Structures are given as structure tokens and as C-alpha cells.
Amino acid sequence: MSGKTTKDSPSLTSDLSELKELLFKKQQAAIEQKILQAEEEASRITPEKIADALPGAFDLNLKKNPQYFGKKLKPTIELAMEESVRENPGIITDIIFPIIGPAIRRSVSETFRKMVQNTNRVVEESMSFKGLKWRAESILTGKSYSEIVLLNSLVYRVEHLFLVHKDTGLLIEHIVNPNVSSDSVSDSDMVSSMFSAIQDFARDAFQEDNHAGIRSLAVGETTVWVERGPHAFLAAVIRGEAPSSLRGKMQLLMEKLHKEQNNAMRSFQGDLDERKKQEIIETLDDCFEEQYSTEEKTDQESKKKKLKLVQYALLALAIGALGFFFWQQIAGSRANKEIAKKLTNFERILAREPGIALTSSKTIGKPPKLHLRGLKDPLAANALKLAERSGVTEHVDMSFADYLSADMEIVRRRFSQKTNPPGSVKVFVSGRGVLKLSGKATRDWKKTASAAAVGVPGLNEVNMSEVRSN
């Protein structure tokens, strides 16, 4: 039987082909027609038509499912940007410049504002008994004065935030309040492990489920508040007494983090890419709060008034000192001009004085001082007395060498000193090297005077024709 079936199989195949053709002839023809139409349409599609249709296709996809569309395009866009930046870094620099510039200025401005606030607080507190007490505490504890001021006037402050992976206990992120030293926690990984160990111990000891855990604990002068999420928990280290609104803010932050960073935290294995890390830091930054005592706020206005009074007093002193300085300068300038005028007159007097010859003159310094050098006959006038009469004794430095002057007034004095004429005889200068005498004198004196005149320097002739004998 099997041999008969094998023998008849070609005719059976032919019959099946004919039956298929009868049953599906129209459908086959329609399919072939569709294929021909598709090929014809494909041949009519050009790059230009695709370019025209592509923007519309993008718009349509964005309207239908923007998140899905963005997710599909994200790898391509990131790769294109990475390649573009690698080839030409200047492009991305020009693009982010308008954004990064204001951001940096805002950050610097905020930092400077906080610094000014802290400085003002320190200045205000320095001018009170409390400030002196805190300064003593600063010396005894070794802490800075500004830190003591802040700690004594602080109501509460969030100092550290630890975001810890719930299953592994690994630290996802640790950020520190800008007003707190980063050295206040030695090992953030160890702290996060401690939090996880305490949570596990509490659950095991009290036989609680995995969703339970410690919500707060005290460590020295600080309190730790813990808020849990599906994949991580947030631990906030707080100094002081924080309000309950802070816990509400922590809950909102955990919800936001698990919504925006759900995949990153669920699959966390000890490392995050920089972009995700920065996004988490920016989110957690909103949790940093600090508040100072109401007493400090109440006293703020009075302290500001005191500070202003001190500032005004200092300003008045500065203006007074500046005015006094300028007055001194003006008065000193006038006095110096007056002294200089007197010195000039004194120098002229010396220059006209018989028996004095000036060789050098120099006025230096403020107040001015006149330095004179020259020659002086022993019979010339006393220069120091001349300076005293001119009122410049303290402003003159004089040095004279002796010499015999040929000035006729000095020659007359020299003759009179040597001959000692009687009171009835007058001695006059008659000309260059000539003296004329008049009056009454004894014959002996006339004879002695004539003989003495020969040895008087500068004297060439003595005219006694008008001297009558007694």
C-alpha cells in the first residue's frame, strides 16, 4: 500500500496545486498587486521627500509620547554632543557661556553675602559683655571667635546630609553645610555604615519588618534625623532643636529623589556618573537650613543702632583728624613761607653788613633752615645778634672764617681801635683808602695817630687838616 501511495504522489501534488490556484487565485493576484504598488511607491521616495516629512514626524512623535521619544533620541544626541565637543571644544564653550557666567556670579555673590553677614554678626557681638565672654571662651577652647558666636546664637542648623543605599549600606552621597568645616566628619563611609548597622540592629532586636527603622538618634550635641525611601534613606545631622517642618521637607526630598533618580538608586553599586551625582547634590542642597535665636533677632536693631553710633563716632573722629591734618598743613605752609621770607631778609642784611662776605647760601627742609658759609672780619657786627633781631636764630646755621676786610667802614673802626681818638675828634671815610679827621686834639695824639695809621690794613692816607691843636 505504501508503494502505491508513493507511485501516485506526483498526481496528488498536481491536484493540490490546481486546488490552491482555484481557491487563492484572487488573493494571490491582490498580494502581487500590493507588492508592485509598494515597490513603485518606494521608488518614488527621495531624500528630499524624507527631509520634508521628517520634521512633521518628529512633531507627531513628541505629541504622542514625548518621554518615550526623548528616551530613544537621548543616546544619539549624547554621542553627537560628545563627538562635537571632542572635535571642537569651543562650540560648547560658546553655548554655555551665557549660562555659566551668571551662575558663577550668583554663587560668588551668595558666598560674599554670607561672609558679610557673619562679619557683621561678629562685629556687633564684639561690642558687648556677651562678646567679651565669648572671646574668652574662644581662647579657652581654641575655636575661632566667629565659630563661638554662631554656636551660642544658633537655634538649629543642618550640618551634614548622608544619602545611604538601603540594601547595601553604601554611601550614595555626603554633602556638608557651607558654614561647617568639612573636617567635622572624619570618614563619611564609616558613618553611613554605622547608620545602616544601627538600623539593622534595631530591626533584629525588636523583630520589626524591613520597612521599620530608627527615625532619630542623639550623638553628643547633635541629633540625627532619618527618613527612609524604597531604595535609600536620608540621614540629616542637626545641631540644635529643629522644627518638625524640616522632617516634612526631608520626606519631600526623598520622594523627589526616588522619582527622578529611581533607577540610579535601585541599581547603585558604589559609584554614580558625575551628572547623576550633581543632580542629587542639587536636590539635597535644599535641605540645608539654619536659624538663629529670637533673642538675637530682637536685639538686632539695638545692636545695629549701637554699631551705627560707633561708626558715626569713628567717622567724625576721622573727619576731625583729617581736618586737623589739613589745618596743620595749611598753617605749617604759611609759617614756612613766613620763615623763608625772614631768612631772605636776614641774608640780605648780612650781605650788606661791612666786614662780612658770604661765600655760600642754602635753604633746606620744612620748616626751612638757612645754611650760610663765608668770611668775617673781627670788627664786623655780631652775626648771631643780627639773626636774633631778625627772629631767625633757630632757623640759621652759620660758619665764618676770619679775614681782614678792606671795607672802609671796617678800616675806620680798625684805625679808631688802634689810635683811640678823643671824643672831640670825628673820623670820616673820605675815599678809597682815605680817612678824614676833624675836631680838636693834642699835638702828641696827632703825632701818635699819624704814626699808627701807617700800620692799619686798608688805610692809605689820613687827612688831619681839619684837626686843630689844643
Q: How confident is the model at residue 30 (pLDDT cuts 50, 70, 90)?
A: confident
Name 431's bridge partners: 434
To the nearest whole percent, how much of the chain has pLDDT over 70? Answer: 78
What is the band of 119 on the pLDDT scale with cuts at 50, 70, 90?
low
Distance between CA atoms of 121 and 389, rounded to whole angstroms?
A: 65
- Which of 163 and 110 is assigned the larger pLDDT? 163
* Range 29-56 average pLDDT: 74
Report the distance separating Cα 26 and Cα 314, nearest Å: 108
Tell me: pLDDT of 6 over 50: no
Q: Cα separation of 151 and 118, whole Å?
A: 12
Q: Which residue has the cell 490552491?
A: 20
Can you tell me the mean pLDDT for 83-102?
A: 69
Mean pLDDT, all residues of the chain? 79
Band of residue 5 on the pLDDT scale cut at 50, 70, 90: very low
Q: Judge whether residue 43 has pLDDT over 70.
A: no
pLDDT band with cut points at 50, 70 and 90 for residue 3? very low
Quote the pTM value. Answer: 0.37
Q: What's the confidence (pLDDT) of residue 398? A: 92
Q: Nearest to residue 375, comparing CAs of 345, 353, 394?
A: 353
Q: How far apart are CA 396 and CA 30, in angstroms?
A: 133
**Least confident segment among 72-81, 149-158, 282-291, 339-348:** 149-158
Domains of the chain by start residue, with CATH: 154-292 (3.30.450.70), 333-402 (3.30.300), 408-469 (3.30.1340.30)
Q: How far apart are CA 389 and CA 392, in angstroms?
A: 8
Distance, in Å, from the CA atom of 449 to the CA atom of 299, rounded to the nearest integer, reads 103
Q: In the prediction, which pLDDT does 1 show?
A: 39
